[in-house]
Structure 1
Amino acid sequence: MNNRRDFIKKATLATTGVVLGTSAMSAKSYANILGANDRVILGSIGVGGRGKGLLDSFSSMYNDGVTVKTICDVESKYLAERQDIAAKNQKGLKPGTETDMRKVFDDKEIDAVVIATPNHWHALSAIWACQAGKNVYVEKPSSHNVWEGRKMVEAARKYDRIVQVGFQNRSISNVMQAMAFLHDGGIGDVFMARGTCFKPRNSFGIVKDSNPPASLNYDMWLGPATYRPYNEKKGHYNWHWHWDTGNGDTGNQGPHQFDVARWGLNKKVHPVKVQSMGGIFGIKPDECSQETPNTQTSVFEYEDGKILEFETRGRFTNAESNEGIKIGNMFYGTEGWMEVNGGTWKAYRNDEKEAFAGSGMATGAAVGGDTSFRTAPDSNGHFGNFIDALKAGNNSGLNCEVEVGHMSTVLPLIANAAYRVGETLRFNGEFEEFINNEEADMMLTRKYRYPYIVPQNV
């Protein structure tokens, strides 16, 4: 890995109020105001909802040697306010702006990009970044379909890039402790994991197609997706609930809990069978354009018979488990069970009512003698983990390297395929394809719209 050589020339900018970015100054003039200290230079791509939070977090690491040089979004109305957010964190240093991510990739001064685009752009933007020599932090799910997710992994390997996927639970110390506890036999042999995503969402309505706003580059927003006329109810955030751009809540909030479930089961292989059923309830079809289910139950079986369950409820509902979990995980073992609710966890022996281990309770013996974890108990630790890997110049310390993120992302993607074809599907994990089901196999990839095409050979 040769990443570290790229950092020797980076340093704190001495002048406040300077505007950075590919649209602000040439690479030569930018280099002239750098010193010789290590400084990680970032581009932030997609600065809407989630992207705004990522921009705030990464630019807040300015005193730790991180500078956001450029922000990029196809929706130009965001850019001025997002510049101000970064400037506030960067001692007045304002990033430059772009509306085409390819210009960010062309900037030789940028070491890594942070990607928080809609799901259908995750894979292609990450692949383009790797091809341009950039390291990548990409939000979950790592891809919109299984095939392009594998291409992301191939690109990271081919171009020797550091790629972290935004499964933040991987960097929460209490969750890390809970997983170590499970893997050390804390509740015996774990035979089943259950994840929940209970997020009530009301109808967002329906409107006629219209012209896109002047501030939006709609062609680039669509990117790899099949062309459709602009519709404001299918755009910002609502893209989650349409198959061409999103994956429903099973593939929105769900991937976080899918990841914890797979992690707890200690599975580094794909399941061999999946079934999924559900629908849209409590919302009238003629009053909302939503396509993805708001209620969905998915069940996976591994080759050894172990089970992973996942439930999505988009209507008002009770919580589950002793902790009142709505978004979290439960694990069931031969000697007890465990609940994980955010960064809190508790374990119970068989039918005992009082927890015998948990966050704030676990001893060294309960977690295999190892209570030293690398990161702080909050999601910012995940961002710091990525920056630490960049500075070290290798991915060995990443908490969610791209292959790990891909394995967890596959789960909601194949669940959605089973839901859409209405059949129990068998999955060949070695080749990442379904067995004897051509209709489901077609959902493992998509027909890409020129020129936004994920290549066969990355």
Structure 2
Amino acid sequence: MQRRNFISHVALGAMGVSLGSSFITKKQGGSNDKIVLALIGCGGRGRDVLSGIVKENENVEVKYLCDVNETLAAIPAEIEAYAKKQGYAPKFITDMRRAFDDKDVDAAVICTPEHWHVLASVWALQAGKHVYVEKNPTLSIWEGQQLIAATKKYKKVLQIGFQNRSAPYAFSARDYIKSGKLGSIVHVKCYNLLGGSKWMPEPDTAVPAGLNWDAWQGPAKSVPYNPNRHSMTGRGGWLDFWSYGGGALSDDASHVMDLARLAMGDPGHPASVYCTGGNVGFHSQKETPEFLNITYQFPNFSMTCESGSCTPYMTKEGREVRYGSKWPYWPQNSTRIEIYGTERIMYLGRHGVGWQVMEVDGKIVDMDKGYFPDKFHQKDFIDSIRLSKAPNGDVTQGHLSASLVHLADIAYRVGNQYLEFNATTERFTNNKAANTFLKGHYRSPYIIS
């Protein structure tokens, strides 16, 4: 069997096309142009993204580490490493606006919970900063509209943390499909089948020492502190609440569906969405569902997504697959994509897994092994600032991918309904109640303006 690589150099070049004279950046030139960063959200993922950006790029410094949880200031090993590398230690702050007001800061790396993503990004853009914001970038379709408008208005780079958009194997999958070697595409299946356990309610408690609970809630409705919503030492359970996130669908499934959209040539909004599911695994009483089965109708193909947290026998691949040469066992790969053509099927995996094309009897005819794409995406962010080019994680495509999450969650929240969607107006045409979910809640002073 011949191992082939279908990376299109033309397509790769197109991802870095210049935005022209209307795109204004503070830094232009080579790697000697210093870029100063501020991290907003110092949890594990935030620190990983920040360290990756510094590692993968030359002449990048960190001036601020910001979190409303003051106990996260106690990361001396990381601060010491930055101090040794750049000659001064980053400052720990609890109000992100201090970093945005500092003219030395060129870019913000935003790794907060989802309900803070857009407001923090807009504040940073208004202050003249470039932005790297983690997925899922938005909490509603309205927020996506605001993020696009702000990025265009302030003419800064905004890279969305859909890292597969910088993966060479994602581009080669797209080019292979476009070549017609799968035949006509009739259906795309996305999977996000993870393990989990029954969600149990906990009583409200006093706010832990060192946490600004009001600031953590930000634009969300103010409620008493509850350990189910927040953890002082880990990620916490905020994804289980509609006020802060979109459940399992906005977590890993958003990556899977974004990769599927890229591979299919980045179609626009679907014309309709239908969703079934609920807390059917452990019968928990949490807000976001344990399992969803979703169908989207695009102009030339249908797409489904099965997403949940009650299938422990499915496997989210480890380092030997994401970083190495090992292939997954596709039937139990928990975050795979199946692309059905009239001639062949493609299995595509996120975050470095790669893709394989099969014919009858499991015969593998083509493939491209991947590599975990964080490093490519993090380098692309700084390159985009220095070269005044569009980032791979483009805000418009990020909005379209995030909207797949919002459309499905809305269909679930209005009672597992079939919803028709107007791609131009970005409103539902057959369900008035669904339109009430297009914009979330915002409380003063945490308001986008």
- Secondary structure of the 1:232 match is coil
**Paired residues, number:** 406
Alignment equivalent of 1:291, drawn from 287, 290, 314:
287
Instruction: Please name the residue that 2:66 is paired with.
Output: 72
SS in 2 for 1:316: coil
Task: Give the conservation status (yes or no) of the 8 Å contact 2:62–2:82.
Answer: no
- Aligned residue identity for 2:368: S
* Amino acid in the other structure paired with 1:127: V
Cα offsets for 1:339-374 (capped at 9, x unmatched): 01233210013x2421100015xxxxxxxxxxxxxx
SS where residue 46 of structure 2 aligns? helix
Alignment-derived partner of residue 337 in structure 1: 345
Q: Please say if residues 41 and 110 of structure 2, whose CA atoms lie closer than 8 Å, have aligned partners that are also in contact.
A: yes
Correspondence 1:351-370 to 2 at 5 A = 351-359=360-368
Partner residue of 2:162 out of 162, 167, 175: 167
Work out whether residues 40 and 65 of structure 1, in 8 Å CA contact, stay in contact via their aligned partners in 2: yes
Residues 199-348 of structure 1 correspond to what in structure 2 (within 5 A)? 199-236=194-231, 237-285=236-284, 290-304=286-300, 306-316=301-311, 318-319=313-314, 322=330, 324-342=332-350, 343-348=353-358
Does 2:108 align with 1:137?
A: no
Contact between 1:171 and 1:377, CA under 8 Å: does it hold in 2?
A: no
- The secondary structure found in structure 2 opposite 1:206 is coil
2:400 — aligned with what? 407
Alpha-carbon deviations, 1:153-201, whole Å to 9, x = none?
0000011111110011111222221122112222012221111111111
Distance 1:183 1:86 in 2: 47
Deviation, structure 1 residue 53: 1.4
1:446 matches 2:440: yes
**1:174–1:377 CA contact under 8 A, matched in 2:** no
The Cα offsets for residues 305-342 of structure 1, whole Å up to 9 and x where unpaired, read as x1110001311255497463211211011111100123
2:95 is aligned with 1:100? yes
Q: Relative CO higher for 1 or 2, CA cutoff 8 Å, sep ≥ 6?
A: 2
Q: Which residue of 1 aligns with 2:120?
A: 125
* C-alpha contact (below 8 Å) 1:278/1:295 kept by paired residues: yes
Q: Which amino acid aligns with 2:398?
A: G
Amino acid at match of 2:419: L
The two structures have a TM-score, normalised by structure 2, of 0.85
Q: Percent identity?
A: 32
Q: Assess if the C-alpha contact under 8 Å between 1:274 and 1:425 holds in 2.
A: yes
The 3-state SS of whatever aligns with 1:234 is coil
Matched residues in 1 for 2:260 and 2:268: separation? 13
Q: Structure 1 residues 414 and 314, CA, compared in 2 at 3 Å: closer, same or farther? A: same
Q: Which amino acid is the alignment partner of residue 209 of structure 1?
A: D
Label 1:453 to 1:45 Cα distance change in 2 as closer, same or farther (>3 A): same
> 2:448 is aligned with what amino acid?
V
Could you tell me how far 1:84 is from its partner in structure 2? 3.2
SS of the equivalent of 1:110 reads coil
Q: Distance in 1 between matches of 2:174 and 2:80?
A: 38
Q: Where does residue 16 of structure 1 map in the other structure?
A: none
Once the 2 structures are TM-superposed, how far is the Cα of residue 430 of structure 1 from its aligned partner? 0.7
Q: Is the 8 A contact 2:279 2:289 kept in 1?
A: yes
What is the aligned counterpart of 1:176 among 165, 171, 175?
A: 171
1:210-245 deviation per Cα after TM superposition (whole angstroms, max 9, x unaligned): 221121111110001011111011113200011111
Residue segments in structure 1 that go unaligned for 5+ positions in a row: 12-36, 361-374
Q: Give 5+ residue unaligned stretches, structure 2.
A: 1-21, 316-328
Q: TM-score, normalised by structure 1?
A: 0.84
Assess if the C-alpha contact under 8 Å between 2:190 and 2:338 holds in 1. yes
1:42-121 equivalences in 2 (<5 Å): 42-61=37-56, 64-81=58-75, 84-89=77-82, 91-92=84-85, 93-121=88-116
1:332–1:338 Cα contact (<8 Å) kept: yes
SS of aligned partner of 1:179: helix
